[in-house]
Amino acid sequence: MRTCCWAPGAPWWTSGSLARNGSVTIWRSRLRTLGKWSFHIEDGDRYRDVVRRRCRIRHPLAEGNWGRLMKNRAFPYLMMAWACVSAWVGDASAFPSISQVVPAAQNTTMPDEDGEYPAYIVITEPETWVFDGAWYLSSNPQNPMMWAIPQGTVVAKGMDLIIFASGKNRTQLDRELHTNFTYPCDVPFCGLYQGGKELVSQFSLEGTCFPCNGYELIHRETPVRYVVPKEGMGHEWVNLDYPDTNWARGIFGIGYDAPESLCSDMILYTTMDKDRVVITPGAGTIALDTSGSPNAHDGFVIGKPTLEQGQVLEGFEFPRDPESFIRIPHHFELNPQPTGFTAAIWVNPLEEGVNEVLVAKGGESEKEPGWMFARDGKSTFFQLAFPFQVYRINFREVPGKVWTHLCVVLDPSTSSLLAYQDGGLVDSMQIEVATAQLNERDLIVGNYIPGGRVPFGGRLDEFAIWARPLPRAEVQLVYKTGAEGLSIQTNCTGSTVPLYDPLIMTDVEREMKGVNSSILIRVPFSIQEPALVGKLLLGMHYDDGFVMYLNGTEILRRNAPSVPIPPMNAAAASNRPDPAALVPELFDLTAAVPLLRTGTNLLAIHGLNSSSNADRFLIYPRLCLEERDPVDVCTRTTDGREFWIAFPENSEDDTTNPLELAVLISGPPSITG
């Protein structure tokens, strides 16, 4: 054996013997994008001279290598394997194939119909192909029939078929197709099956999000202990010897994914559209509530409001007449609730500089508690009156004869009142929230009270109330939807799709949501020889923040409060964008290596959500250890150049102790060396 040669680039071999001749075996150890190839040379009597020859490592089919390859006794076996692979590829070309899978973390150019950027699968076929209903896509080779490609799906000649791997499970032929599984970051496996059994094509993309060139100490499914803390718990929990036997058991990742539908907790939705206004004998004209609330807060149209062109289809025009308004009978849920409150409306006033009330349920003073949208000269405001305090928050100037969207959000978890105008936050204030019943007045649209002195003149449309605080993204979506002339309810389904589900192995929604924005996590791991640790690298998926400790010492924090020790009910410093957690943020923790101990070590994490009512939460660390290179190991960086390695040789008389050597070639798939 004069050469030991192979290089990345043959994805059809995943394991087993690639070529064998006598005691020489060449095989690939792992199938990864950043391919790692092992060459095992067993030195026996017949090939003893291999260890005193120089082993030139090049791609076997590179120019000038054919001579060496022909001398290799393994060559016939290599050619037979190549022939088998070529034949298989030839047969497979008659079927569609997966040419690409782009995980959600890398998708920046292909939005779906909901305006989101999920993972997607590209299926290619040189000729026109119609799927017959017996074809499946799967992210798990143990479950080949995970998602059926709808019968009648066509791949046009010369075109690609795009199927979103979003988890939304949509199979309607005249719309986008979405699988019931997704790929947030990596693509461990994507298979195309015929008949649910035969694997016709597959694709994988691993290591792109957290390239670990060593050993993952902490990874997906690492056992952990966790607890949602209570006040007064102390800080000893970060220490290795802290007793945690009463804590819950779980595995990484830890979190929950419970996004609210845009229509979740919507308790009133008066569209004011023509087909949602009915004339009932004996009851007059009724503006229907289409929120789906079991309490059906229909409004009675009194006086002279008329249906005219609205922001979305039709809206009501009010003539600034004290006897013209819409009356919605009192119900306790129309007052701000302990769970929160959001109210939104489109307004188009006739003129500027007048005093008028758009919507009111009391709210004039401490003696008349309640809430209202109103205008005072050029100032437009929302007023919330409790028996002990009146709060007024201002919008920007609202021009006459122009549609403007107003929204106010009351968030009891942060004691904040927020004002949004045309989707943007324009004012905020801290308030003392009272959860008691405010009043039993009817809700009046277009006036303060029947016969009141400040009737509204102009048009109103799309009036909605939620019994929860809408986050900024949903407020912006409500505005964007209306600005496009669409009903809020057109976006009630798309926003509910889970984002973190593929990363979550321990669901803590029941323990955390609505209870606490903090969680404590303890992760033991073992190091036998800390002196050999060269690098410690962390890839962290997190939403929204964390503080990390190694053996009791803080080593890292992100988006956490500035206090040295966050309290047990601490929240993240800000709301991190949800998609950011799909890609692990990389940290070099090598400076913390001196904290490692021989034997058991402890990584402790104080996980932080933006609020206890947040829709999503995630803590999923991946900790990679890279060893120091012993001084007697020769390491070469090729940078694309040829290189030579000289191996030590056995004694000529030593035939009973074969020498085992391994050569590891690593690098991006475009590099051979």
Dump pLDDT digits (tens) for 22-80.
333 333 222 222 233 333 333 333 222 222 222 323 333 333 333 444 444 444 444 44
Taking 90 as the threshold, does the pLDDT of residue 474 lie above it? no
The larger pLDDT score, comparing residue 156 to residue 511, is at: 511
Instruction: Give pLDDT, residue 539.
Output: 93
Instruction: Give pLDDT, residue 353.
Output: 85
Question: Cα 385 vs. chain centroid, distance in angstroms?
Answer: 39
Taking 80 as the threshold, does the pLDDT of residue 640 lie above it? no
Calculate what percentage of the chain has a pLDDT beyond 90: 49
- The structural domains of the chain, ordered by start, are 17-92+642-666 (no CATH), 127-205 (no CATH), 215-258+501-627 (2.60.120.260), 266-496 (2.60.120.200)
Query: What's the rounded mean pLDDT across residues 466-479?
Result: 88
Query: What's the rounded mean pLDDT across residues 499-524?
Result: 91
Q: Which residues contact 242 (CB under 8 A, 6 or more apart)?
A: 236, 522
Instruction: Give pLDDT, residue 159.
Output: 82
Dump pLDDT digits (tens) for 577-588.
887 888 789 999
Taking 50 as the threshold, does the pLDDT of residue 20 lie above it? no
Query: What's the rounded mean pLDDT across residues 516-545?
Result: 94
Query: What's the rounded mean pLDDT across residues 593-621?
Result: 95
Joined together, the tokens standing for residue 442 give: 């009817």
Query: What's the rounded mean pLDDT across residues 509-521?
Result: 92
Cα–Cα distances in angstroms (integers) from residue 28 to residues 16, 68, 216, 243, 572, in the given order: 7, 21, 20, 44, 45
Instruction: Give pLDDT, residue 89.
Output: 38
Q: Which residues of 626-643 are buried (b: 16+ CB within 10 A; e: fewer)?
A: beeeeeeeeeeeeeeeee
Query: What's the rounded mean pLDDT across residues 232-247?
Result: 95
Q: Which residues contact 230 (CB under 8 A, 6 or more apart)?
A: 568
Type of residue numbered 529? E
User: What one-character DSSP code corresponds to residue 82?
Assistant: H
Dump pLDDT digits (tens) for 254-264.
999 877 678 88
Instruction: Give pLDDT, residue 66.
Output: 38
Joined together, the tokens standing for residue 439 give: 């009043």
Query: What's the rounded mean pLDDT across residues 389-399?
Result: 94
The larger pLDDT score, comparing residue 530 to residue 66, is at: 530
User: Cα(559)–Cα(373) distance, rounded to whole angstroms?
Assistant: 35
The larger pLDDT score, comparing residue 59 to residue 454, is at: 454
Dump pLDDT digits (tens) for 151-209.
999 988 878 899 999 989 999 988 899 999 998 878 888 999 998 778 899 898 765 57
**pLDDT-derived band of residue 305, with 50, 70 and 90 as boundaries?**
very high
Instruction: Give pLDDT, residue 641.
Output: 53
The larger pLDDT score, comparing residue 210 to residue 369, is at: 369
What is the pLDDT of the chain when averaged over all its residues? Answer: 80
Helices (H), 167-208: none
Taking 70 as the threshold, does the pLDDT of residue 411 lie above it? yes
Instruction: Give pLDDT, residue 197.
Output: 77
Determine which of 237-241, 480-484, 635-639 has the lowest per-residue pLDDT on average.
635-639
| String of DSSP letters for 469-480 | PPPHHHHHHHHH
* Cβ pair 210, 586 in contact under 8 A: yes
The larger pLDDT score, comparing residue 247 to residue 66, is at: 247
Taking 90 as the threshold, does the pLDDT of residue 444 lie above it? yes
Determine which of 47-56, 89-98, 290-299 has the lowest per-residue pLDDT on average.
47-56
Query: What's the rounded mean pLDDT across residues 116-133?
Result: 89
The larger pLDDT score, comparing residue 7 to residue 189, is at: 189
Taking 50 as the threshold, does the pLDDT of residue 599 lie above it? yes
The larger pLDDT score, comparing residue 474 to residue 569, is at: 569
User: Cα(615)–Cα(77) distance, rounded to whole angstroms?
Assistant: 57
